[in-house]
Amino acid sequence: MLLPAKSEVARQLRHYRAWERSMLASPSDVTVRTTFEDSGYTLCVLMGKRCAREAADAAERYLRTNLVTHAHEQPERLAPSGPMTPSGAA
């Protein structure tokens, strides 16, 4: 399973939160709203979610966890190919 780099997730999450604050401060500004929605879409693609709020929550969880914990939280994304040994060899 491929996971995005934590540095990229953190960068995109900061970008999304900054535009969220701008959008809340100026909800009638079309440019701000459009950029906020674009940043939400990018976060959705990066985190594999359909909703920006879910993507932001998933990004925050991902940044708090290590790889093993994240893999256990996302069983639907894993495709087990049989029993695994610690080295990965069968």
Q: What is the pLDDT of residues 28-68, one digit of tens each?
A: 999 999 999 999 999 999 999 999 999 999 999 999 987 55
Closest CA to 35 of 25, 22, 54, 51: 22
Domain ranges of the chain: 6-68
Rounded distance, CA 9 to CA 20, Å?
A: 16
| Side-chain half-sphere CA neighbours of 90 within 13 A | 4
Q: What is the pLDDT of residues 1-28, one digit of tens each?
A: 688 999 999 999 999 999 999 999 999 9
- Tell me what pLDDT residue 85 has: 47
- Tell me what pLDDT residue 82 has: 46
Rounded distance, CA 68 to CA 5, Å?
A: 15
Q: Give percent helix, percent strand, percent coil of the chain, each to the nearest 5.
A: 70, 0, 30
- Tell me what pLDDT residue 76 has: 54
- Tell me what pLDDT residue 2 has: 81
